[in-house]
C-alpha cells in the first residue's frame, strides 16, 4: 500500500544516489520514487536502476529516461507533464563531479541542470519540499571557518566543479524564498562507516591507492592540513531525513565532520602507513613542489609514476587546506535524531580494509 508521496531523485545511479534510493525506500515504506536516469554505455535507465533497487521495492520505483543537461531534462513531453503533476518532493543530486571539465561543460550540467530541476519543481503543484545536494567546497580556497549561511564572499575556486556548484547553489538560494527546500553540503564523502563499502574510488582514495601500492610517497602539502571526511551512510541518512523536516526548510546544512571530527593529513597518513605497512610519507611545501620539483620529475620519470604526476594535478590543493566547516545547523537539525558523523579516525581502517578486499573496486565483494 503506497501513500501519495512521489519523490523525484536525480543522480540516483551515483555513489551517493544509490545509497540514498535504498535509504528512502527503507525510511519511507509507503512512498514511491521517480528516478531520472540517463541511458549510458548501451544500458537503458531501467536496467541501470535494476542493478541497485532491491527487487522487493521495484513496484514503488519508476524510472524516467532523462538528462538534466538537456531542455526539459531530456524528458518526453508526456513524462514531464505526468511527473510535474504527481511529484511531491525532489532531491537534486545529479552533477558532474569531475575537476577537469571545461567551465562550459560543468555549467551545462551543474548550473543549467539545477536551473531546469528548479523550474520543474516550481511548476509541480503538489510540491512539498526540495533538497539540493551541494558541496562544502563551494567555499573554494578559503582558509577560515566557513559558516553554513555563507556562499560567495570573494573566494577563488580551485576548479570548475567548485565554481559551478557555487553558481548552482546561488540559483537554489534565490528560489528558496518561494519554495520549501534545504541545501545540503557534504564535504568529502567516503565509504560506509560500518562496512567500509564504497562504489567510488575518487577523491581520498586515489592518493591512498598510489601510496598503498608504493608508487608514491611524497605529499605536496602540509602535515597539519585538514581533511573533512564524512561517510556515505551519514550523508544519505541526513538527506533522506531533512527532505521531510520543515524546520530545515530555508537553511543550508553542512554535512561535514566539522572542526571536532575532521583529521589532519598526517593523522590519516600515519594510520595508512600502519595499515598498509608502508613507510611514512614525506611532506614537501606545495609551492616548492609545483614550482621546482614537479617540472624536474616530469622530465625524469616515466611509466606509472609519470602518470601519477599527471593525474595528481587535480588534487594539488587538497593537501594544503586550512579551512574548517561550521556545523551549527547540522547539529541543531540532525543531533536530536542521533545523526552525527563518526570521527574519521574511528572507521578509517574499515575503509582501508574494503579497498584491499575489493582490490580498489576491481573485484566484487560479497554483500556485508
Binding residues (CB under 6 A) for ligand NAP: these are 10-17, 38, 40, 67-69, 93-97, 109, 113, 133, 135, 165, 186, 188-189, 200, 203
- Of 43 and 218, which has the nearer Cβ to ligand NAP? 43
- Which residue, 147 or 306, is less far from ligand NAP as judged by CB? 147
Torsion angles phi and psi, residue 359, rounded to 5: 50, 50
Which residue number, 185 or 350, has a Cβ lying nearer to ligand NAP?
A: 185
Cβ closest to ligand NAP, residue 45 vs residue 281: 45
Q: How far is the CB of 65 from ligand NAP (least distance, A)?
A: 10
**Which residue's C-alpha cell is 592540513?**
225
Closest distance to ligand NAP from the beta carbon of 244 (Å): 19
Q: Please, what is the minimum distance in Å from the beta carbon of residue 28 to ligand NAP?
A: 20
Task: Phi first, then psi: give them for residue 89, nearest 5 degrees.
Answer: -145, 150
Distance CA(247)–CA(234), nearest Å, equals 19
Quick one: angle between helices 232-242 and 15-27, nearest 10?
Answer: 50
List the Cα angle 63/66/67 in 5-degree steps.
140
Minimum distance, C-beta of residue 367 to ligand NAP, in the bound complex (Å): 20
Judged by CB, which is closer to ligand NAP: 204, or 284? 204
Q: Rounded to the nearest whole angstrom, what is the least distance from the CB of residue 286 to ligand NAP in the complex? A: 21
Q: Classify the C-alpha dihedral 3-5-6-9 as positive or negative.
A: negative
Per the DSSP assignment, residues forming a β-bridge with 190 are 231
Percentages (nearest 5) of helix, strand, coil residues in the chain: 45, 15, 40
**Nearest residue to the partner ligand NAP, using Cβ:** 14
Q: Please say whether the beta carbons of 226 and 323 come within 8 A.
A: yes
The residue (of 19 and 289) whose beta carbon lies closer to ligand NAP is 19
C-alpha cell at 274: 600502519
Task: Detail the DSSP E strand segments found in 23-88.
Answer: 32-37, 61-65
Alpha helix segments (H runs only) across 200-327: 205-212, 232-242, 258-261, 265-276, 286-288, 294-300, 303-312
Q: What 8-state DSSP symbol labels residue 41? A: T
172/284 with CB nearer ligand NAP: 172
Report the nearest approach of ligand NAP to the CB of residue 224 (Å): 22
Q: How many residues belong to the chain?
A: 368
Taking the least distance from each CB to ligand NAP, the nearer of 189 and 333 is: 189
Shortest reach from residue 295's CB to ligand NAP, in Å: 30
**Nearest distance from C-beta of residue 185 to ligand NAP, angstroms:** 7
Amino acid at each position: 500500500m503506497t501513500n501519495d508521496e512521489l519523490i523525484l531523485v536525480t543522480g540516483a545511479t551515483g555513489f551517493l544516489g544509490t545509497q540514498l534510493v535504498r535509504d528512502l525506500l527503507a525510511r519511507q515504506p509507503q512512498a514511491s520514487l521517480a528516478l531520472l536516469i540517463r541511458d549510458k554505455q548501451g544500458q537503458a535507465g531501467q536496467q541501470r536502476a535494476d542493478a541497485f533497487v532491491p527487487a522487493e521495492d521495484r513496484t514503488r520505483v519508476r524510472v524516467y529516461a532523462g538528462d538534466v543537461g538537456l531542455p526539459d531534462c531530456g524528458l518526453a513531453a508526456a513524462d514531464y507533464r505526468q511527473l510535474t503533476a504527481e511529484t511531491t518532493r525532489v532531491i537534486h543530486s545529479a552533477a558532474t563531479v569531475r575537476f577537469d571539465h571545461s567551465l562550459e561543460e560543468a555549467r551545462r550540467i551543474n548550473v543549467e541542470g539545477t536551473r531546469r530541476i528548479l523550474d520543474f519543481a516550481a511548476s509541480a503543484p503538489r510540491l512539498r519540499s526540495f533538497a539540493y545536494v551541494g558541496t562544502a567546497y563551494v567555499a573554494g580556497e578559503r582558509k577560515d571557518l566557513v559558516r553554513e549561511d555563507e556562499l560567495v564572499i570573494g573566494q577563488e575556486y580551485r576548479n570548475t566543479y567548485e565554481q559551478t556548484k557555487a553558481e548552482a547553489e546561488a540559483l537554489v538560494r534565490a528560489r528558496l524564498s518561494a519554495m520549501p527546500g534545504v541545501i545540503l553540503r557534504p564535504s568529502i564523502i567516503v565509504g560506509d562507516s560500518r562496512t567500509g563499502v564504497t562504489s567510488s574510488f575518487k577523491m581520498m582514495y586515489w592518493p591512498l591507492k598510489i601510496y598503498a601500492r608504493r608508487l608514491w610517497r611524497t605529499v605536496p602539502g602540509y602535515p597539519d592540513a585538514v581533511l573533512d571526511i564524512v561517510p556515505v551512510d551519514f550523508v544519505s541518512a541526513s538527506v533522506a531525513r531533512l527532505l521531510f523536516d520543515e524546520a530545515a526548510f530555508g537553511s543550508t546544512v553542512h554535512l561535514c565532520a566539522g572542526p571536532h571530527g575532521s583529521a589532519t593529513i598526517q593523522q590519516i597518513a600515519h594510520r595508512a602507513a600502519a595499515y598498509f605497512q608502508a613507510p611514512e610519507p614525506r611532506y614537501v611545501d606545495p609551492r616548492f613542489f609545483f614550482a621546482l620539483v614537479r617540472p624536474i620529475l616530469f622530465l625524469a620519470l616515466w611509466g606509472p609514476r609519470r602518470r601519477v604526476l599527471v593525474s595528481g594535478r587535480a588534487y594539488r590543493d587538497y593537501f594544503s587546506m586550512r579551512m574548517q566547516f561550521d556545523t551549527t545547523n547540522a547539529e541543531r537539525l540532525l543531533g536530536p535524531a542521533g545523526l552525527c558523523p563518526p570521527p574519521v579516525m574511528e572507521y578509517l581502517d574499515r575503509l582501508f580494509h574494503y579497498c584491499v578486499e575489493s582490490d580498489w573496486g576491481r573485484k566484487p565483494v560479497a554483500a556485508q
